Amino acid sequence: MRKKKVMAVAIAGALATPAIALAQSNVTFGGFMKVGVESIKIASPSPARAGLHDSEVRLTDNTSRLIMNANEDLGSGMQAVGQLDFRFTPDNGTLQANGNTWAGVRSKEAGTLTYGRHDMHYGKSPSDLHIKAALKGAATSLMDYINATRMFAQGSRVANVIRWDSPSWSGFALTAGYSTNADVAEADLSSGERKGNAVTVNPSYRAGNFMVEYSAYRSKPDAPVAATQDKRADTINAWFRRAGLKVGVAYNKAELKNSLTKVASAERTAWTIPVSYSTGPQELHFHYTKAGENKKAATTSGTDAKMMAFAYVYNISKRTALSVTYAAITNGERASYAFHTDDGGGQSSTNAAPLAGEDPRLLAFVIRHAL
């Protein structure tokens, strides 16, 4: 604990936080480093890939992060709270405060009200595979996408969010969020077009070893153009745990509409069944996930996909874990689902996204160390 406090003060100083703020607030530091060696293979390569490699081995970040939390007692059961969530990539050295970063107030009776960047609707699946094993093996790969389009947010988190998290009412809880524009940059004053927003509502109930929740997400961008999409997604999921066994299920329905014409360009359902088992320092994780055909495609046949993922985790200590993950996506001839974050960004590689009908395969060896 002493080491964590020393590290928190050091990092706060590096970020030029005034000394008086540290004296008045309780600042803690946490997060984790998570990086892996991945072997990616494209099975059933498209003819358009002729002359190009269909496999590679790479070192890849698995959403490592540095998190600073601050809280100040305001009296009468109230606290001022804040979080600074830095995402960094140990493989290439980038560092950005683009995680869940916010400031607000908390009350035991009234809940927590925050302003900032938040996960909204994202990752509503009972699967735990991605927590210690490979991020790309997550059921999110199919559950939160329609082919290459992310359904949940801009870059995994929604910007410009006003969010309220209720206290627990005998197991019932509610999260509600409103974004003035989910696509980061406000554009109302520079446009005569409609004003965008995003809304989420997420009620849940948990009792002992059982949980069930529903999540709804709706978004429309500011100043729509021909290429922008309005998004609608609904997910219901549940899980049950007994001893070391956890079994879950989730169902998602998502739709894209052209922001100008209001014509639906994509609509599909998806579901996943995750199973995990832990005994001593060992964990086993599995999920089978299926994305249905795009009902709004010009040709619906072959627009579906399925995914299987397995992971073995060995916890060397309470803070350090090693894992091996195997995952496979089988795309229909007109589908191009990819592993989550394997779209050419900082946690991927150039031109990594599969072409229509290609089937990506993943073998990953990951180390995770909690800070």
Token match 């969530």: residue? 85
pLDDT tens per residue across all 371 residues of the chain: 444 454 444 444 545 444 444 446 799 999 999 999 999 999 999 998 888 889 999 999 999 999 999 999 999 999 999 999 999 988 888 888 889 999 999 999 999 999 999 988 988 999 999 999 999 999 999 999 998 888 776 666 898 999 999 999 999 999 999 999 887 777 778 888 888 899 999 999 999 899 999 999 999 988 888 888 899 999 999 999 999 999 999 999 999 999 888 899 999 999 999 999 999 999 999 999 999 999 999 999 999 999 999 999 999 999 999 999 999 999 999 999 999 988 776 677 777 889 999 999 999 999 999 99
Residue 72, strand partner residues: 80
Tell me the CATH number at 347: 2.40.160.10
Instruction: State how many domains the chain has.
Output: 1
pTM, whole model, 2 decimals?
0.89
Task: Indicate the burial class of 273 (C-beta count within 10 angstroms; 0-12, 13-18, 19 or more).
Answer: middle
Spatial separation of the C-alpha atoms in residues 41 and 258, rounded to whole Å = 34
Tell which phi-psi region holds residue 339, choosing left (phi > 0), alpha (psi between -120 and 50) or beta. beta
- Check: CB of residue 204 under 8 Å from CB of residue 250: no
How far apart, in Å, are the Cα atoms of 190 and each of 187, 195, 260, 261, 352?
Answer: 5, 11, 17, 21, 35
Cite the DSSP H helix spans in 111-178.
Answer: 129-132, 140-143
Q: What are the residues facing 29 on neighbouring strands?
A: 68
Q: Map tokens 């639906």 to a residue.
A: 264
Residue 169 is classified by DSSP as: B
Q: In terms of DSSP H, where are the helices of the chain?
A: 2-14, 19-24, 129-132, 140-143
The residue range of the domain holding 54 is 2-370
> Can you read off the two tokens belonging to residue 48?
């358009």
